[in-house]
Amino acid sequence: MNQQQGSAAGLIQSGGAILGIEFGSTRIKGSLIAPDTTPLAAGSHAWENQLKDGVWTYDMQDVWKGVADCYASLAQDVRARYSVELRTLAAIGFSGMMHGYVALDIDGKPLVPFRTWRNNVTGKACAELIPLLDFAVPQRWSIAHLYQAILEMQPHVPQIVHLTTLAGYVHWKLTGEHKIGVGEASGMFPIDPKTNDWDAARMATFDALIEPRKLGWKLRDILPAVLPAGRMAGKLTADGAKLLDPSGKLAAGIPLCPPEGDAGTGMVATNAVRSRSGSVSAGTSVFAMIVLDKSLSRVHEEIDIVVTPDGKPVAMAHSNNGSSDLDAWIGLFGQVAGALGTPATLDDLYGKLLPLAVQGDPDAGGLLAVNYVSGEHMTGFTEGRPLFARREDARFTLGNFLRAMLFASLCALRTGMNILTEEEGVVIEEIRGHGGFFKGGDTGQRMMAAALNVPVSVSATAGEGGAWGMAVLAGYMLRADAKQSLPEYLDERIAGSVGQPVKPDPRDVQGFAEFFARHEKGLAIEREAVKALR
C-alpha cells in the first residue's frame, strides 16, 4: 500500500469518509469520497423499471435489495483497495430520480406501487392544475399524480398520511425523518424562492380545490418538511443501518443531509449552481438545468421551474427518453459479436462503436430514429414505440446509424431548449455535462454541442455521476464555515476539475438542424406506430 492509499485507509478507518448513494434509472450507485471530494471507492447495483398494469414502477423490495447490494459492493471495494472495513462515516446523503409518487399509510407502507417519472398518465390533472396554479405542472410531478388519483377517485387517496419521492422514502426509512431537500421538493409541488419552502398561496389554492371531497388531510399535512442544502436532516437509526448494511458492521448515528433529486446532484457535480450557469444530465433520460437570473415571461408547459439545492430558480427542460434505445442496439451488436465468435464487453462496445458517429455524415446520412421507449411529454406522447426508418437512397452506414441514435437522444431536449433560447431569450454561455452519454472520449460532447449550439464541457468527475454529487452535498453539511454558500463551497473544492469545453462545429450544428427537422416530421410515423403496435 502506497502513502496515498495509507492516508485514505486511515481516513476511512477513523470515520472521516463521506458517502453518497443515488437511485438512478438503471443503476443504484454509491460513491465514497474524502472531505476534499476526492473519490475513494465506489459500488453499484443494476436494476430496471417494469411496466405493470400500465404503470412504470420499481418494486420496493428491489429498492432495499438494491441499496444493500450497492453498499456491499462499495464496502468490498474499500477492502480491496485499502484492506480496512467500512464501519462508520462522517455523513451520508441519498438522491434519486426526481418526481414520481410514493404514497404511504399510517404505518409507512406504500399504498400503491411507486409511480416513476416515466409515467405520462396525468394529463387531465395537469390540464386543470396549470391554469389554477398559474404554474407549469409537468405530468411527472408528485402533485400531478396525486390530483390524478383524486380525479379518478382511487381508493387509496383518503388513507394517505405521507406523500414523498423515492429519495424521500429511503431517507425516512433510514432516519425516521420525513424531510426532503428543497431541490427535490421542487419536483413535487411549487417552491416559494423567498422562503425556500412550499408555496403557501398555491398550497391554499390546491386545498380549496379538493376541500369538497373531504379527504381528511390538507397538502401540508402529507408533504415532507423542506430543507436547503447544508442542513442536517436526521441520523441513521439502528434499523436504518441494518437496511443499508445487513452484515451489521455499519454503526448507527451517522448524520444525513437532506435527500436530493438527480437534477440537483447533477448541478452540484458540474459546479453549475450560479445564475446563468447550465448543466445537462444525459443518460436514460436527458434534462438541461439553466439557473435563471430573471423569471420567464410566461408559463410554458414544456419547461419545469424547479430550484437548485440551495433554492435558486432553475428552468428545467426534461425529456423522458434518452439513451435507452441506443443501449438496446448496442446490446444487439454485442449479440452479433458473440455469434461471430468475438464476444465483447459493453465497455468495449461503447468505446469502439460510439466514436464512429463522429465519422458519420453531419445529418446522419438521411436516416431517421425516434427513441421513444416510453411517452414523451415534450412532444405530446403518452406512450412510445422506438423506431428506425430510412429512405431507400439514405446513406446506411454504421457511423450514420450511431449518429442518428445519438442525435435522436437529444431531439426532445432541443425542443425544450428552443423555448428558452428563442422565445425567452435565455443566454447560455456554456453547458456542463455529466452522465453516461459523456463517457468514452469526446463523442458525447460533440453531439451535445451540435444539438444545443453551445460549448459543452465535462468535469473530470463526470463519470462518478450523481452519487458523487450527492456525497459532495453531504460534505457541504460538514463545512467549517456555516455561512459559506454552496457556490463558494463548490468553487473551493471542484472548480478545477472542469475540463476544456468542446465548441460546436458549424457542420455538426447544421447537420443536427437537418436531422431535427426530419425527426419532427417523423413523429407522424411515431404516432401511427403507437396506434399500430398495441
Start and end residues for every CATH 3.30.420.40 domain found in the chain = 97-235, 324-459+499-532
Distance CA 254, CA 277 (A): 33
Distance CA 146, CA 363 (A): 42
Distance CA 405, CA 515 (A): 11
pLDDT at 190: 97
CATH number 3.30.420.40 given to 324-459+499-532: yes
pTM as predicted: 0.83
- Show the beta-strand stretches assigned E in 249-329: 260-261, 278-282, 286-291, 303-307, 313-319
pLDDT at 461: 63
pLDDT at 437: 86
Distance CA 329, CA 312 (A): 39
Residues of the chain above pLDDT 90, percent? 79
pLDDT at 266: 87
pLDDT at 462: 58
Distance CA 8, CA 3 (A): 9
Distance CA 526, CA 381 (A): 9
| 441 grid coordinates | 472520449
3-state helix, strand, coil in the chain (%, to 5): 45, 20, 40
Please report where in the chains the cell 454561455 appears, as a residue.
Answer: 429
Distance CA 244, CA 529 (A): 43
Residues of the chain falling short of pLDDT 70: 1-3, 440, 461-464, 495-498
Q: Show Cβ contacts of residue 28 under 8 Å, excluding neighbours closer than 6 positions.
A: 21, 22, 44, 45, 47, 66, 67, 69, 70
Distance CA 412, CA 434 (A): 18
Give the number of C-alpha atoms closer than 13 A to the C-alpha of residue 113, restricted to the C-beta side: 17
3-class SS at 137?
coil
Radius of gyration of the chain (CA): 23
3-class SS at 100?
coil
DSSP state of 422: I
Beta bridge partners, 313, equal 307
Record: fold of 97-235: Nucleotidyltransferase; domain 5 (3.30.420)
Distance CA 499, CA 367 (A): 32
**Cα-based distances in Å from 319 to 48, 172, 292, 322, 430:** 18, 29, 19, 7, 20
Distance CA 509, CA 505 (A): 6
Residues of the chain above pLDDT 70, percent? 97
pLDDT at 229: 97
Residue type, 154: Q
Q: Is the dihedral of CA 42, 63, 168, 236 positive or negative?
A: negative
Distance CA 269, CA 495 (A): 10
CB 174 within 8 A of CB 244: yes
Please report where in the chains the cell 426532503 appears, as a residue.
Answer: 180
- Long-range contacts of residues 386-389, Cβ cutoff 8 Å, at least 24 apart: 386/324, 386/325, 386/328, 387/525, 387/526, 387/529, 389/522, 389/525
Strands 431-434 and 456-458: parallel
Q: Is the dihedral of CA 334, 340, 342, 343 positive or negative?
A: positive
- Show the beta-strand stretches assigned E in 244-376: 260-261, 278-282, 286-291, 303-307, 313-319, 368-370
pLDDT at 497: 67
CB 360 within 8 A of CB 403: yes
Strands 368-370 and 260-261: unpaired
Comparing C-alpha atoms, which of 383, 368, 454, 446 is closest to residue 417?
A: 454
